[in-house]
Amino acid sequence: MAMTTSELQAEIEATKLRLQAARTRSQEIDDEIDRATERQRLRRELEELKAELLEQEDLNGSDEAYKGDIDADESGQFVCSSEACSRQPVQGQRKNGVVRASGDACTNFGHQILEGEFTWKLLPMSWLRTALRHERTSVANSTVFFVGGFAFCFVYSPSGGPVMNSTDDGKRRCGSLAIRAYDCAEPMALRYGIFAKNSTGDFVQWGATQDEIHPAHELRAYGPDVHAEGSPPQAIGIFGLTHEQLLQSEWVQDDTLTLKLVLEVRLLGVQVTSQRSEREAVDIPKPTLHRDVQTLFEESTSRVIMVEDCAADTFKAFLRYLYTDNLPTVEDLAKPSSQAVKKDGSPPLTQMEALWAVSHKYQVQRLQRWCEAQLCNQLSAEQVCCILRQAHVFEAAQLEKACLSYIKDNSAQVLKLQAYSDLISKWPEVALKIHLFTAGVPEAEAAAIVQARKVRRLNDGVERTS
């Protein structure tokens, strides 16, 4: 039966009331979503702060130990090295009441310069602004890349806006294209140049090559137009072009912008001094040793010292460093260690890995850092699982990041290996780190997850530490 006019009018009024109630509820839901989103943001902020707190406490512990080593004259900028403590005046002949002597020395500050190149393609450039709005972000980031264990990434801002949050001066850093350098344990010197590919396929440098000192434990951005917010340079943009101008320029081909970073990193405290004088005989000084190594010499009652957990060639390289303070060359350590195949059937350590292990055991930090930097550049599918496991045990953060990045980028080769299966099954915390890194979980959030799991396993008495 058809509804009457009165019934239709009554139904219309009732529907209007329900619609009004639904609209009111919609606004309430929007407000609740905003509050829920804010609570979620606060939870992530709390997790990041907790992760930073844990990291800072770890750093403080390391710094306290380092301070103790400085007080014990076992480390520090002014530690008494074997060469400095034993240096004697150049002997000469007395002639006419005047002592004459001759000699020369060379101090090489470039003995250990690490070099790297990274190419980044941005495409499709015509969609970039819209895509960033869709992703609710203002910048595009490259993957993290490593030079000797130090982490970097490219950041591109189409608007020339902030590329990094506030620094110690309280101001954000802005620019179009920046290199973001992540925190590191010690200050590093870096030299960089940024290039863009033109229509002929040649890379042309944008801006001058720059030298920077990157502070320890800080995240900073560098680039030709990077500046403090509110203090812009004369021109902002790659080659002074806005994003829209860049789209129409020779630097964007097939809707693709191709950039290249050429980077050099110098390790702290790495210098080699060679000295030649007319003296025919030179007394070999007793090295400045970590107390565990010193004990080997002091407790030995004969001229024979037994070191049973290290191959002879590796320990010779270790002693050579202790006596001369000269780092070995990569070529010196290119051949495999004389160590036999391990009991679990895995391949023997390379000499670099073996030297890293012994320098960690005896806490020779400079040699340990050098080995870690070299291993970052020598990763292979066959060795990366073994190196990652040791980096996890030794808490070598930069090398661990390099291994995780290598596994992610070369998963087709690594995941089919027995070494990977063994690592996943025997080292669950390492397996969790691989999963979180591959999934793209932010570093601070991943650290909090790993730490929470570690605490649970420690409480259960099942955590593996070596």
Backbone Cα Rg of the chain: 30
pLDDT at 277 over 60: no
Distances (CA, A) of 66 to 70, 352, 364: 6, 25, 12
Q: Which region holds residue 265: left if phi is over 0, alpha if psi is between -120 and 50, else beta?
A: beta
Mean pLDDT, all residues of the chain: 78
Residue 243: closest CA among 307, 142, 181, 156: 156
Q: Residue 174 and residue 163: Cα distance in Å, rounded?
A: 5
Q: Which of 113-122, 168-177, 219-228, 264-273 is predicted least confidently?
A: 264-273
Q: What is the CATH architecture assignment of 285-377?
A: 2-Layer Sandwich (3.30)
The matching CATH number, chosen from 2.60.210.10, 3.40.50.720, 3.20.20.70, 3.40.50.300, for 113-266 is 2.60.210.10
Q: 456 pLDDT exceeds 80?
A: no
Q: pLDDT band at 171, cuts 50/70/90? A: confident
What is the location of CATH 3.30.710 in the chain? 285-377
Summarised one tens digit per residue, pLDDT across range 420-455 is 998 988 888 899 999 999 888 888 888 888 888 777
Lowest mean pLDDT, pick from 111-125, 192-206, 321-335, 338-352? 338-352
Q: Indicate whether 247 pLDDT > 80.
A: yes
What average pLDDT does the segment 350-367 reach? 85
Place of tokens 């915390």: 429
Does 67 or 290 have the greater pLDDT score?
67
For residue 84, the model assigns a pLDDT of 45
pLDDT value at position 226? 94
Q: Which two tokens stand for residue 356?
A: 């890293």
Residue ranges, comma separated, of all CATH 2.60.210.10 domains in the chain are 113-266
What is the mean predicted confidence (pLDDT) over 324-332? 75
Residue 425 neighbours by CB under 8 Å, 6+ apart: none
CA distance 354 to 313: 10
The pLDDT assigned to 96 comes to 44
Flag the least confident range among 63-77, 89-103, 198-212: 89-103
Task: Please state, in angstroms and rounded to a whole number, the distance separating the CA atoms of residues 131 and 124.
Answer: 10
pLDDT(44) > 80: yes
**pLDDT beyond 90 at 236:** yes
pTM score: 0.44
What tens digit of pLDDT does each residue of 294-319 get?
Answer: 555 554 554 556 666 678 788 888 88
346 vs 131, which has greater pLDDT?
A: 131
Q: Please state the rounded mean pLDDT for residues 80-91.
A: 46
Mean pLDDT value across residues 402-407:
92
pLDDT tens digits, residue range 46-74?
Answer: 877 876 776 676 567 656 766 776 787 76
Percentage of the chain lying above the pLDDT 90 cut: 30
Q: Amino acid identity, residue 91?
A: Q
pLDDT at 279 over 50: no
Say if CB 327 and CB 272 are below 8 A apart. Answer: yes
Band (293; pLDDT cuts 50, 70, 90)? low
